[in-house]
Structure 1
């Protein structure tokens, strides 16, 4: 059993594009072009997408339909991208979001 999301509640069954490489916090990863970024991260075992600004709590996929903000990350330099709804493309730069930035202003313990 893989950790890959095979059917999205809103987007349906994703068309499996070609296997592409993207960067996650500076580490190369692979996923299928067109699948939600969050699906590619989940398949790779990444469960934390951001940390809350006030309490520094980890967040990841929650609603998976673009209504909440638990899956937001920095994608190609743009913060607050809902990764559950954003299609993966080759060469994307995806970063954990800390509050509203790419760098924590507190000590992160993982």
Structure 2
């Protein structure tokens, strides 16, 4: 049924998203606009939206380097950004 909502966890915080939404959408709703830090410490986030740039890498359910722009949210999904650490 269209319009169903699910809850995912972004950096330990519950976020409600539409069923079928991308992980990037959940990050935006959670105001988690930094998925990782570059070696020089610059904040990085999704750029191309199609997986090429790989700036949207996050850990999903304990698996590192998942592309947020290419991954659909599932109820109960645990999403962790690397915002506090250097690449």
Same fold, judged at TM 0.5 (above): yes
- Displacement of 1:69 in angstroms is 1.1
The 1-side partners of 2:85 and 2:55 are apart by 17
Q: Secondary structure, in 3 states, of the residue corresponding to 1:69?
A: coil
Alignment of 1:1-110 (within 5 A): 16=2, 18-52=4-38, 54-97=39-82, 104=85
Runs of 5+ unmatched residues, structure 1: 1-15, 106-110
**Which deviates further from its counterpart, 36-45 or 24-33?**
36-45
Say if 1:17 and 1:76 are closer, same or farther in 2 by CA, change over 3 A. farther
Question: Which is greater in Rg?
Answer: 1
Runs of 5+ unmatched residues, structure 2: none
User: Which of the pair is proportionally richer in strand?
Assistant: 2
Q: Which has the higher contact order (CA 8 A, sep 6+)?
A: 2
TM-score, with normalisation over the residues of structure 1? 0.69
User: Which of the pair is proportionally richer in helix?
Assistant: 2
TM-score, with normalisation over the residues of structure 2? 0.85
Compute the RMSD of aligned alpha carbons.
Answer: 2.1
Q: For residues 36-55 of structure 1, what are the alpha-carbon distances to aligned partners after superposition, in whole Å with 9 as ceiling and x for unaligned?
A: 11012213332111112x21
